[in-house]
A and B are shown apart, each in its own frame.
Chain A
Amino acid sequence: MVDIRSGTDRALGPAEVEDVELYHPHSWWTRYVFSQDAKIIAVQYASTAIAIGMVALVLSWLMRLQLGFPGAFAFIDAERYYQFITMHGMIMVIYLLTALFLGGFGNYLIPLMLGARDMVFPYANMLSYWLYLLAVLVLVSSFFAPGGPTGAGWTLYPPQAVLSGTPGGKDWGIVLMLSSLILFIIGFTMGGLNYVVTVLQGRARGMTLMRMPLTIWGIFTATVMALLAFPALLVACVMMLFDRILGTSFFMPAIVEMGEQLQHGGGSPILFQHLFWFFGHPEVYIVALPAFGIVSDLISTHARKNIFGYRMMVWAIVVIGALSFVVWAHHMYVSGMNPYFGFFFATTTLIIAVPTALKVYNWVLTLWRGDIHLNLPMLFALAFIVTFVNGGLTGLFLGNVVVDVPLSDTMFVVAHFHMVMGVAPILVIFGAIYHWYPKVTGRMLNEAMGQLHFWVTFVGAYLIFFPMHYLGLIGVPRRYYEMGETAFVPASAHTLNEFITIVALIVGAAQIVFLFNLVWSIRHGREAGGNPWRATTLEWQTPETPPRHGNWKDLPVVYRWAYDYSVPGAPEDFIPQNQPGPDNLTRETAT
């Protein structure tokens, strides 16, 4: 077995695959628009995701205005409110988080961190982005379609999703939503196969699987999961589209709608929920695992210390990925499914807490006896741990079947999933952008704007979502356009809602500072140099910054793991992965 930390040339086999020449662009169009360079595609994915994410941000403002000040804004009627929450949820989960982590960071980092010239199928990679863009455009078009976008909630539960009591149910809304998802999944599959094959086949010599940075482990595992989970959503979308357009009854039982007998019969609404969550729960980890991976590397680099328990971290990622396929029905404890499922799914769900908790311990133990540089990426990583631990722990309430019963469908759930899969992964995205922006552009992001952005976002997001749990504990249901006068909700809860809305407006505004910083620093940022964080991983060792098409002059050779920070006896506090020997440095202390 090859030692993961460092090895001699014995670990290196001869090159199995000859270095190949890439297709080089001949014009501005093929260089920057129809580009086959994974780095350009990554920027395209990220820009599109951030752009559509801004739409989701505005939608969240609008819905918070209604919740904080019910009725004060006449144009936010019930119909629009439900359209806003639906589109906000879908955009954030699929079109922002999934696309940005896998399409954005995946494309940029996989070839660079593994020492490859590009993805193995550059053309399919390009198609993947253009299908994604098309999916986004179809989604956006539903805002302008007759009847507007669907208001079925992001879970799109039938039968209501395709009936007239729901906005967009009998108009274009639901059709465009389902079509957009289908396009997204086809596009993702092209990209996803690419990432998997590149990780398995495109690594530099010496880059064994157990020497890969955790970022790559996270993205790789998430991609494998997505390739297995998205087909469930695809068939669910196709079947619902048939129910809506062709009048089939996959999900439609006998229904009397507003006094009128419909022509449907024999279908099962719960079948859709099983398909949806068979995708939907792995989806949580499709977003979380890349975040886990990235944050591990941010912490290690900025604490100048190897990630604690690397092998445990890798196995935890793989185990979490596998377990996440057998927990889906914990979203359905009160759905009316056979109640005996509750025993099984509560047990599997709480078992996942163990590998997840081990990851948290290893992050904080990496800080222990480190040399912590409080750079912006590190600050975001710390904020991630706080919000992720908070959101993960409230997951233990909702996963524990009987505790879920009073809390399910209340604001507690909203607070929980925003904390754990909204705020926490987005904080990692911010940290990652502050970390890798210098590689992408050659310049640092502005520090003062970054500090402002960090503090408002972190403290603000916590102030929004921590108290929100208690609204759910009172019993305030989620997806209520207005609570009205209700005996069990004290008047003070309305004050809390106003407070949450005001903080949400401020946190949203802070994101504009971030966007400005992204644009401003391209020209005005401080020159970064090739390796501003003095990091070990390969992307920081490229001959040029930003790396050109093909990434390397000669392909790098890897001699050690990604975490040789502060190795005793080494002249510097980091040793790049492609630096050969002396390997006895680590051997002595390792045992």
Chain B
Amino acid sequence: MAVVVILVLLAAGSVLFHLLSPWWWTPIASNWNYIDNTLIITFWITGAVFVAVVLFMAYCVFRFRHRPGNRAAYEPENKKLESWLAAGTTLGVAAMLTPGLFVWHQFITVPDGARQVEVVGQQWLWSFRLPGADGRLGTSETRDISPENSLGLNRNDAAALDDIIIEGGELHLEIGKPVKMLLRSVDVLHNFYVPEFRAKMDMVPGMVTFYWLTPTRTGTFEVLCAELCGVGHPQMRGTVVVDSAEDYQTWLTSQQTFSQLMAAAQTKETAQAGNAAPAR
């Protein structure tokens, strides 16, 4: 009999925990409230099924527990009941899958005119690259990475020279403007994850992955790595700032381009060579 009480408490406790506990998602800062809505639908459907099954079990145990002289019924099959249950389940599953696939279609369809931002992961640091005045990102290659060209940009590509590079610093995004995050890694798997954006995607060395979003709220948000990438994994943090249009422009103009960085590195190198200092 204790088991009946525990089963009822467990069903009720789970529902109360869901409704009353302080642990819920952090307020959203992107257009992906569609994802949140699908999640809520799923919570309601699955929650109802869970409570129904557990309470039905509790009732069965209570009502049909063994007492002297009891004998179970003999009922091998009930085709009608089984069909009804199968149909009901299929309906419930469809009710979750349909909105899910609909939103997934949105998630993978990048709107025309979305700005491009490249995120580069390495153990255990985030770097970013924005297109320069030409509005295009230049080509890059892991093989071209060197101390003065840490993202491996193609020096012979004019489109690359004016790209804006942010090494280990903050990424700023403009509110209300769709942005396609192009994700690249130079060493191992990483995952660019901002909880407030709800989106995440692995970064895989040897290929470029992506997702898109529209920031909907200004503020400063933490970037985490969500794919185990070695012992420094939990320390691999970064910062994304969502700015108003004005603040964004101010920030953008203060950033350095690839050619500026290369020129600076060259000056430094000549200076060091003059002082006969060690190369590193």
Contacts and interface: CB of A to CB of B under 8 A. Distances in A.
Contacts of B147: 259
Contacts of B100: 346, 400-403
A159 B49 CA distance: 41
Interface string A571-591: 001000000000000100110
Given A308-B77, A370-B64, A371-B72, A346 B97 contact: yes
Interface string B127-146: 00000000000000111010
Contacts of B207: 253, 270, 336
A462 interface: yes
B96 A350 contact: yes
A372 B234 contact: no
A386 B72 contact: no
B75 A306 contact: yes
Given A308-B75, A308-B77, A475 B25 contact: yes
Nearest to B26: A488
Contacts of B203: 336
A457 to B, nearest CB: 13
A498 to B, nearest CB: 14
Contact of A567 (B26, B39, B74, B188): B74
Nearest to B109: A339
Contact of A490 (B22, B189, B202): B22
Contacts of A255: 142, 186-188, 205
Nearest to B39: A403
Contacts, number: 325
Interface in A239-281: 253-259, 261, 265-270
A438 B71 CA distance: 25
B60 A477 contact: no
Contacts of A304: 66, 71-72
Contacts of A573: 71-72
Interface string A470-509: 1101110101111110111010110010000000000000
Contact of B104 (A270, A343, A408, A488): A343
B57 interface: yes
Nearest to B145: A256
Nearest to B47: A393
A303 B72 contact: yes
Interface residues of B, number: 99
Interface stretch (A36-44, A51-59, A351-359): A351-359
Interface stretch (B159-167, B222-230, B241-249, B250-258): B222-230
A563 interface: yes
Given A473-B24, A477-B224, A493-B23, A405 B35 contact: yes
A567 B46 CA distance: 36
A406 interface: yes
Contacts of A406: 25, 32, 35-36, 39, 195, 198-200
Contacts of B234: 78, 480-484
B49 A393 contact: yes
B186 A160 contact: no
A8 interface: no
A409 B205 contact: no
Contact of A568 (B22, B32, B74): B74
A460 to B, nearest CB: 12
A386 B204 CA distance: 38
Contacts of A334: 191, 200-202, 226
Contact of B57 (A254, A364, A403): A364
Interface in A377-421: 379, 382, 385-386, 389-390, 393-394, 396-397, 400-403, 405-410
Interface string B204-221: 111101000000000000
B187 A369 contact: no
Given A474-B24, A488-B196, A589-B74, A346 B191 contact: no
A270 B204 contact: yes
Contacts of B183: 336
A367 B66 contact: no
A481 B233 contact: yes
Nearest to B45: A396
A157 interface: yes
Contact of B73 (A153, A305, A351): A305
B46 A397 contact: yes
A82 B77 contact: no
A470 B26 CA distance: 11
A310 to B, nearest CB: 7
Nearest to A151: B231
B76 A306 contact: yes
Contact of A256 (B25, B89, B186): B186
Contacts of B32: 405-406
17 contacts: A163-B188, A254-B142, A256-B152, A258-B123, A268-B206, A269-B206, A306-B76, A350-B97, A367-B57, A374-B66, A382-B3, A390-B14, A403-B100, A488-B195, A490-B23, A493-B23, A566-B72
The 3 closest A-B pairs by CB, nearest first: A253-B206, A165-B230, A475-B195
Given A374-B65, A473-B24, 14 more contacts: A253-B207, A258-B187, A305-B75, A354-B93, A379-B3, A382-B61, A386-B10, A396-B42, A396-B93, A400-B42, A402-B34, A406-B199, A493-B23, A563-B76
Interface of A: 5, 78-79, 82, 151-153, 157, 159-160, 163, 165-167, 169, 253-259, 261, 265-270, 303-306, 308-312, 334-336, 339-340, 342-343, 346-347, 350-351, 353-354, 357-358, 360-362, 364-365, 367-374, 379, 382, 385-386, 389-390, 393-394, 396-397, 400-403, 405-410, 455, 458-459, 462, 466-467, 470-471, 473-475, 477, 479-484, 486-488, 490, 492-493, 496, 563, 565-568, 573, 586, 589-590
